[in-house]
Chains A and B, each alone.
Chain A
Amino acid sequence: MNKLKTAVADFGWPRIIIFFFVVALFVAAPLVGVRVDGALSDVLSRFGQNGILVLALVPMVQAGAGLNFGLPVGIIAGLLGGTLSMQFGLSGWAGFLGAVGISLPFAVLFGWAYGLLLNKVKGEEMTIAMYVGFSMVTFFAILWLLLPYSSPNMVWGYSGTGLRTTITLDGYWTKILNDFLAIRIGRFFVFPTGLLAFFAAATGTMWLFLRSKTGTAMTAVGSNPDFARAGGVSSDRMRLVSVVVSTVFGAVGILVYQQSYGFIQLYQAPLYMAFPAVAAILLGGASVNKASMVNVLVGTFLFQAILTMTPNVINSVLQTDMSEVIRIVISNGMIIYALTRKTKVSK
């Protein structure tokens, strides 16, 4: 009994309650005419689609730089990679991998500059990060119009210049990871093998990184910067590294997200991308100073499950479409809940 109690306490009541809520939704689904297998398939693909964006938050949390509300910085790098890859006419695997490859140098560059800024505003990272993200997105909203893109699949039809707000990936790399070795069971259920394998590989990479000398130093910086300094570790440098890694994962994350979604969304779309990721990792049990792979996996799964199932079930019950409203309420509610919760870090 005691063992059970500590296990429950470790896992955390919020997660257990939400887990049972998700189970209840799955039970209720058939009663209101929602297919369980289709819903499950949706949950899995959304899990893989969003996972890397959530994973991108881990290094900065570990390094004590807070939750990366500036994730759009990485997303912009990913968008540059995706659009340039299309512009160069790459498609299929070459297109996707090309997009990843092209986005990396941008991500490193942006992350480095963004990290330098965050090192100057210690203690206020999260607020500043949010506005860095907002500014970056708005600045690039101008660039998307001005940059000399010319591929007819991407630019506005009537003027011939400037990128469209939504660009379809059909004919390029739509669902290239989702469909890779995908297992189809029945009409409605698809297991997105490639997508989940890619997410697993990214998680593994992050796990290894955190176990390296640099990763260890980073965690120590987040845990006690004075200790790290006395141990000969430069906390500014570690924080910078963490921001760069976070930005790179953000860039890769958005490319994975888009191939699953099937569209590249530009202009205002990246503006609020950080919020669901933050909500997911907090829901997974991470604090502002500590996050683990388990937090990422559990959090992303529960968050995406609720986000998929609640609107489905409620829409069917109410016979109206209010999925977007529910999504916003849930994801922002999660952030409020998690940020107000006392973090259990000793100082």
Chain B
Amino acid sequence: MPDDTPLLSLEGITKDFYGTTVLRDVTFALKRGEILGLVGENGAGKTTLMRILFGMPVIAETGGFGGTVRIDGQPVSFRNPFDALDAGIGMVHQEFSLIPGFTTTENIMLNREPSRRNVAVDLFGPRMATLDRPAMTTRATKAIERLGVELDPDMLVSEMPVGHKQFTEIAREIDRENVKLLVLDEPTAVLAESEAEILLDSLRRLAAQGISIIFISHRLHEITAVADRVVVLRDGQLVKDTSAKGVEVREIAAWMVGREVDANARVRSDRKYGGPALEVERLWVDMPGETVRDVSFSVREGEIFGIGGLAGQGKLGIPNGIMGLFAAGGTVRLHGKHVELDAPRAALDAGMAFVSEDRRGVGLLLDESLDWNIAFTAMQVKGSYLKRWLGGLFSLRDEKAMRALAEQYIEQLEIKCTGHRQKAKELSGGNQQKICLAKAFALEPNLLFVSEPTRGIDVGAKKLVLDKLRHYNRDEGTTIVMVSSELEELRAICDRVAIVDEGRIAGILPPDAPLADFGLLMAGERAAEASA
């Protein structure tokens, strides 16, 4: 094509959610027939960027965005996904949006079915038209052929292997007459290696037909294999926009996780550890979306042990499984003593405490006051904050002690609130997180699990939370296992960092290991040998 205007260009895209900037001045362009590999860690802003491109209502509801989106050089602003579809943008989502009881053809043609007129149409309007099934099959077959894959047009979606579902979804997008740009959000995440290969071939074919593709994937070798260009986002900023030619997986991994920081700045020589505090062997956890398949590790007394990895790989499943919140199996020993799984009470009685990543769902009693939130677990597990009456015949809540406890932590953790009677739901995210920490500290655990302790909280609160964790570790001797998606945070506070990939520990690294090594482990490239 002689026309040199890029098909899509994003200029200075900026977006913030309630004061948190998630995208800052992102600019790049995409030529016709080009495959662009978009990579970045979770929370780097990929999804938000695609939502802006696709005109998702959530963007407008949260105050719109800054910058310009141009298609064929013309500025566009989509008010909803239908506008984007009309403009020739197709999107294939991670989750399948297919109807299980319909066939391949029916799914591909859904809501665009060629139809036939009949008497009812004249009487009641076009909604009464009958489907032109032969035409549907022809068109669906054509779309499938364009992909270059084998799909039975009459097979029910519910009976298909996952790979075929993914192809059906893509076929649906390319059936549109005017489709110019296809966005694929982690299309290979659910596919087996061989299926992924076929998919990549299809993408190349589509690109050769002049369709531009934005391909999002965490499997970096796929990016290097298929993409013409690589765009790397980190913390909402575009950090690299380069031709994919000659780029190594290792380089992309390093761009993704960040610049090399001076690891020597941290003094670690004075760290002393005792014997093994927590020993986990062959743990599996059935936590939806965070399945742990086979994990073994051991945490030393007095250590801060970090667990990182991408979302959905199973890092969150580890603490949730050990604390008995999801069905789990395997062997867990705390100070040599066997801990029963599937029993939250047993885990708490053993002296472990857990700050859940699901703050509002599991961490807090939103409708109750702060003193309840902080004291409840300690009351139930250890019988503290109860006052005995009539010689121990019965005991009642000791509201005074609960109040003192709450006030102590409100001061110590700088929790901003109107007082200990305020309801937990009225606090900001950061302060709610501090309440969750206070709840765990009130148990005086000898092993503390913290899961995503800084997710969704502002910088100041983040620092305070990390400082408190460090303080409890250094001064109270609490062994801490911290699970986080933020690698920088793990590297800053932990003594060792394990990276989880596909439900298994891909490797355990010292925090000052080169960033690229972390990136490679996260991306499932086991090339780098783990060295602890």
**A346: chain B residues within 8 A (beta carbon):** 360, 366-367, 425
CB-CB contacts of B109-124 with A at 8 A, as 1s and 0s?
0000000000000000
Stretch touching chain A among B158-166, B390-398, B458-466: B390-398
Counting CB contacts under 8 A, is B529 at the interface?
A: no
Q: How far is the CB of B453 from chain A (nearest CB, A)?
A: 16
Q: How far is the CB of B94 from chain A (nearest CB, A)?
A: 25
Q: Are A226 and B362 in contact (CB under 8 A)?
A: yes
Selected from A211, A213, A233, A290, the residue in CB contact (under 8 A) with B367 is A290
CB-CB contacts of A229-267 with B at 8 A, as 1s and 0s?
111111000000000000000000000000000000000
Q: A347 to B379: give the CA distance in the assembly, Å.
A: 23
Residue of A nearest to B443 (CB): A231
How many contacts A-B (CB < 8 Å)? 80
Q: How far is the CB of A77 from chain B (nearest CB, A)?
A: 24
User: Which residues, 147 to 181 on A, are CB-close (under 8 Å) to B?
Assistant: none
User: Which residues, 263 to 277 on B, are CB-close (under 8 Å) to A?
Assistant: none
Residue of A nearest to B387 (CB): A211
Q: Are B363 and A227 in contact (CB under 8 A)?
A: yes
Residue of A nearest to B346 (CB): A232
**B409: chain A residues within 8 A (beta carbon):** none
> What's the tally of chain B residues with a CB closer than 8 Å to chain A?
32
**A212: chain B residues within 8 A (beta carbon):** 394-397
Counting CB contacts under 8 A, is B313 at the interface?
A: no
Counting CB contacts under 8 A, is A220 at the interface?
A: yes
- Bin the interface of chain A by size: 20 to 34
CB-CB contacts of B419-454 with A at 8 A, as 1s and 0s?
000000100000000000000000000000000000
Q: Are A232 and B367 in contact (CB under 8 A)?
A: no
Q: How far is the CB of B473 from chain A (nearest CB, A)?
A: 22
**B361: chain A residues within 8 A (beta carbon):** 224, 226
User: Which residues, 372 to 387 on B, are CB-close (under 8 Å) to A?
Assistant: 372, 376-377, 379-381, 383, 386
Q: Are A232 and B379 in contact (CB under 8 A)?
A: no
Counting CB contacts under 8 A, is A208 at the interface?
A: yes
Stretch touching chain A among B100-108, B348-356, B493-501: B348-356
Q: A229 to B381: give the CA distance in the assembly, Å.
A: 11
User: Which residues, 308 to 344 on B, are CB-close (under 8 Å) to A?
Assistant: 323, 325, 344
Counting CB contacts under 8 A, is B365 at the interface?
A: yes
Residue of B nearest to A224 (CB): B365
Q: Are B367 and A223 in contact (CB under 8 A)?
A: yes
**A223: chain B residues within 8 A (beta carbon):** 365-368
Q: Are B354 and A230 in contact (CB under 8 A)?
A: yes
Q: How far is the CB of B435 from chain A (nearest CB, A)?
A: 12
Counting CB contacts under 8 A, is A4 at the interface?
A: no
Counting CB contacts under 8 A, is A345 at the interface?
A: yes
Q: How far is the CB of A111 from chain B (nearest CB, A)?
A: 20
> Beyond A223-B365, A223-B367, A290-B367, is A230–B394 a contact (Cβ under 8 Å)?
no
Contact residues of A with B, CB < 8 Å? 208, 211-213, 216-217, 219-220, 223-224, 226-227, 229-234, 289-290, 345-347
The 7 A-B residue pairs with the shortest CB-CB distance in the complex, in nearest-first order:
A232-B345, A231-B377, A346-B366, A232-B348, A226-B362, A211-B396, A346-B425
Give 5 new A-B contacts, CB below 8 A, not counting A213-B380, A217-B380. Answer: A212-B395, A219-B368, A223-B365, A224-B361, A224-B364
Contact residues of B with A, CB < 8 Å? 323, 325, 344-345, 347-349, 354, 356, 358, 360-368, 372, 376-377, 379-381, 383, 386, 394-397, 425
8 contacting pairs across A/B (C-beta < 8 A): A208-B396, A211-B397, A220-B376, A226-B325, A226-B361, A232-B345, A232-B377, A233-B345
